[in-house]
C-alpha cells in the first residue's frame, strides 16, 4: 500500500514537472524554428523550407538598428537609476533604526 502510494505520488510529481517544462519550452522552440522559415507568410508548422532571410533583414535594415539603439539606451538609463536608488533605499530600510 505504501509502495503504491509512493509510485502514484512520484508519477504525479514527474507529470507536473514535465508538463511545466514542456509548457515553458515548447512555444520558445517553435518560435526559434519559425525564425528560420523561408516562407514570407505564417504557414503551417513545420516550415517547408529554411533560410536566414529574416536574420539578414534584421542585420541590414537600419530601421531595426535605430529601434535596437533606442531600447538599449532607455533600458540602460532605467537600470542604472533604479539600481542605485533601490540599493540605497534597501540599505536604509534594512539597516536603519525605526523609532516609534
Partner 1 sequence: MSLDRFHKILIAPALLLLLPLLAGPILVLLDESLKPFEGGRIGGTEGGGVTLANYLEFWDPAYAHYFGDTFRLGLIVTVAALVLGFPIAHFIVRVARPRTAKIVTAALIGTLFLSLIVRIYAISMTYGPLGPLTEVSWLFGIDPRDRAKTEMMVVFGLLHTVLPLVALTLIGTVQQVSPRLEEAAMALGAPRWRAVVSVTLPLAMPGMLSAGIIGYAFCISNLVVPLIMGKGFVVFVSNLIYFRFSEVNNFPSGAAISIIMLVIALGLFYGLMRAVARIWPPAERASR
SS3 of 37, please? strand
Is 67 an interacting residue with respect to partner 1 (CB under 8 A)? Answer: no
57 contact partners, CB below 8 Å, separation of at least 6: 64
Binding letters toward partner 1, positions 71-90, x by CB under 8 A: ----------x--xxx-xx-
- CA separation for the pair 89, 81 (Å, rounded): 12
Q: Which of residues 27-66 bind partner 1 (CB under 8 A)?
A: 27-28, 30-31, 34, 42-46
Residue 9 touching partner 1 (CB under 8 A):
yes
The minimum distance between CB 40 and partner 1, in angstroms, equals 15
- Residue 50 in contact with residue 36, Cβ under 8 Å? yes
How many Cα neighbours within 13 Å face the side chain of 35? Answer: 10
98 binding partner 1? (CB under 8 A): yes
DSSP-derived secondary structure letter, 50: B
Residues within the interface to partner 1 (CB under 8 A): 2, 5-6, 8-10, 12-13, 16-17, 19-20, 23-24, 26-28, 30-31, 34, 42-46, 81, 84-86, 88-89, 91-93, 95-100
Amino acid at each position: 500500500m505504501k509502495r503504491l502510494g509512493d509510485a502514484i505520488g512520484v508519477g504525479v510529481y514527474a507529470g507536473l514537472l514535465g508538463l511545466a517544462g514542456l509548457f515553458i519550452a515548447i512555444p520558445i522552440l517553435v518560435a526559434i524554428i519559425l525564425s528560420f522559415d523561408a516562407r514570407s507568410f505564417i504557414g503551417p508548422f513545420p516550415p517547408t523550407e529554411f533560410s536566414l532571410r529574416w536574420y539578414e533583414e534584421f542585420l541590414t535594415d537600419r530601421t531595426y538598428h535605430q529601434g535596437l539603439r533606442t531600447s538599449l539606451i532607455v533600458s540602460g538609463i532605467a537600470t542604472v537609476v533604479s539600481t542605485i536608488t533601490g540599493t540605497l533605499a534597501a540599505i536604509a530600510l534594512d539597516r536603519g533604526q525605526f523609532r516609534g
